[in-house]
């Protein structure tokens, strides 16, 4: 492991992951772009590489479905080798299918748990082991404000996000003594494919702005970062609303 500033971004083919990867490349990182839509990844890599200093290939493409859990250990090692080092892993893959108020569709539930939670665990377990050996490194997981309470609209999306936050906190507490930072990002509403068609959402920001804030957090933060920061106040208020009132809200 020799090269400084090398990152893996899982879920880099659109939205927050794409924007974070572009930001990191701008800041001098060599970035491995991971997701299923290889064509999108190649377009993003071309854009990054065309703006890189002459001859430098800052973005590499690895097509992968995070629900193919068994592939991860070998792929993780192969990516680290190809990058020439590894200092940062960002897990941004996620799905949130539409769920009707009375709908309980286990196939949708399974997909959310597999992509949002289990995919994160299998990727970040690899990162935790490598960074423990290196006694250095940063792990960033994209959670959500949705994980702070059990909102009635999206039972399993909220569950996956709440569980992500707990898993990331345990990693942070385990890895602190090994000089490894673990950052939990909790975005509010971001303008991406995930929120397309949902209308005007409170304090919506662009994916580019979110990507910039995620890259800032990856470089400096030590715990949980709300994106944008003003969501921290709303989250604090929501967490303190008693259950019997919260269940009446469309929060
Ligand atoms: N947008 C918001 O308002 C918002 C708010 C809070 C939290 N978040 C979280 O932010 C993260 C990024 O979402 P986004 O808003 O940027 O949405 P997005 O544009 O839909 O991006 C989702 C990313 O996840 C990847 N992905 C989905 N399933 C995958 C699979 N099976 N294997 C590999 N990659 C997979 C997608 O790539 P492929 O389809 O190419 O595989 C894509 O790169 C998610 O965890 C989401 O829950 C978003």
Atom of ligand 1 nearest to the CA of 40: 40
Distance CA 124, CA 126 (A): 5
Indicate whether 2 pLDDT > 70: no
Q: Please give the biggest Cα pair distance in the chain.
A: 61
226 labelled catalytic = no
Indicate whether 1 pLDDT > 70: no
* Model confidence, pTM: 0.98
Under CATH, which number does the domain 6-246 receive? 3.40.50.720
For residue 227, the SS3 value is strand
Tens of pLDDT, residue by residue over 8-59, are 999 999 999 999 999 999 999 999 999 999 999 999 999 999 999 988 999 9
The ranges assigned to domains in the chain are 6-246
CB 222 within 8 A of CB 138: no
Indicate whether 200 pLDDT > 90: no
What is the predicted pLDDT for the residue at 93? 99
What is the predicted pLDDT for the residue at 143? 98
For 104-165, the DSSP string reads --HHHHHHHIIIIIIHHHHHHHHHHHHHHHHT-EEEEEE--GGGGS--TT-HHHHHHHHHHH
Indicate whether 213 pLDDT > 90: yes
In angstroms, what is the span from residue 37 Cα to ligand 1's centroid?
A: 12
Pocket probe for ligand 1: among 10, 15, 196, the residue whose CB has the most ligand atoms within 8 Å is: 15
Indicate whether 97 pLDDT > 80: yes
Among 29, 91, 104, 157, the one annotated catalytic: 157
CA contacts within 13 A on the Cβ side of 27: 20
**Residue the block writes with tokens 């020799």:** 2
Distance CA 13, CA 38 (A): 8
Nearest partner of 88 among 184, 170, 185, 182, judged by Cα: 182
Mean pLDDT of 82-101: 97
The mean predicted confidence, pLDDT, of the chain is 97
Nearest partner of 44 among 27, 66, 72, 25, judged by Cα: 25
Indicate whether 217 pLDDT > 60: yes
Tens of pLDDT, residue by residue over 221-234, are 999 999 999 999 99
Which residues sit with their C-beta closer than 6 Å to ligand 1?
11-17, 35-37, 40, 65-67, 92-96, 115-116, 142, 144, 187, 189-190, 192-195
Asked which of 176-180, 206-210, 217-221, 246-250 is least confident by mean pLDDT, the reply is: 246-250
In angstroms, what is the span from residue 131 Cα to ligand 1's centroid?
A: 25
Distance CA 60, CA 32 (A): 5
Strands laid side by side in the 30-35 sheet: 59-63, 30-35, 6-10, 88-91, 137-142, 180-187, 224-227
In angstroms, what is the span from residue 185 Cα to ligand 1's centroid?
A: 13
In angstroms, what is the span from residue 54 Cα to ligand 1's centroid?
A: 31
Give 242: exposed, middle or buried? Use CB within 10 Å, 0-12, 13-18, 19+: exposed
Mean pLDDT of 199-214: 96
Report the nearest-CA residue for atom 43 of ligand 1: 11
Indicate whether 250 pLDDT > 90: no
């Amino acid at each position: 492991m020799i090269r400084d500033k090398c990152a893996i971004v899982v879920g880099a083919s659109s939205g927050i992951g794409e924007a974070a990867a572009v930001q990191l490349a701008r800041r001098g990182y060599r970035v491995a772009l991971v997701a299923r839509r290889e064509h999108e990844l190649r377009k993003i890599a071309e854009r990054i590489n065309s703006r890189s200093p002459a001859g430098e290939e800052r973005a590499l493409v690895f097509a992968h479905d995070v629900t193919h859990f068994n592939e991860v250990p070998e792929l993780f090692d192969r990516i680290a080798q190809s990058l020439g080092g590894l200092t940062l892993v960002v897990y941004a893959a996620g799905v949130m299918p539409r769920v009707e108020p009375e709908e309980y569709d286990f196939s949708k539930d399974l997909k959310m748990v597999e992509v949002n939670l289990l995919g994160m665990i299998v990727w970040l377990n690899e990162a935790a082991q490598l960074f423990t050996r290196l006694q250095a490194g940063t792990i960033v997981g994209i959670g959500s404000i949705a994980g702070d309470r059990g909102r009635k609209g999206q039972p399993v999306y909220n569950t996956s996000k709440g569980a992500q936050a707990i898993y990331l906190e345990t990693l942070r507490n385990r890895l602190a003594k090994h000089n490894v930072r673990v950052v939990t990002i909790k975005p509010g509403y971001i303008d991406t494919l995930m929120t397309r068609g949902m209308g005007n959402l409170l304090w919506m920001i662009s994916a580019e702005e979110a990507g910039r804030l995620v890259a800032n957090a990856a470089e400096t933060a030590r715990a949980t970062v709300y994106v944008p920061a003003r969501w921290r106040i709303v989250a604090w208020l929501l967490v303190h609303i008693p259950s019997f009132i919260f269940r009446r809200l469309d929060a």
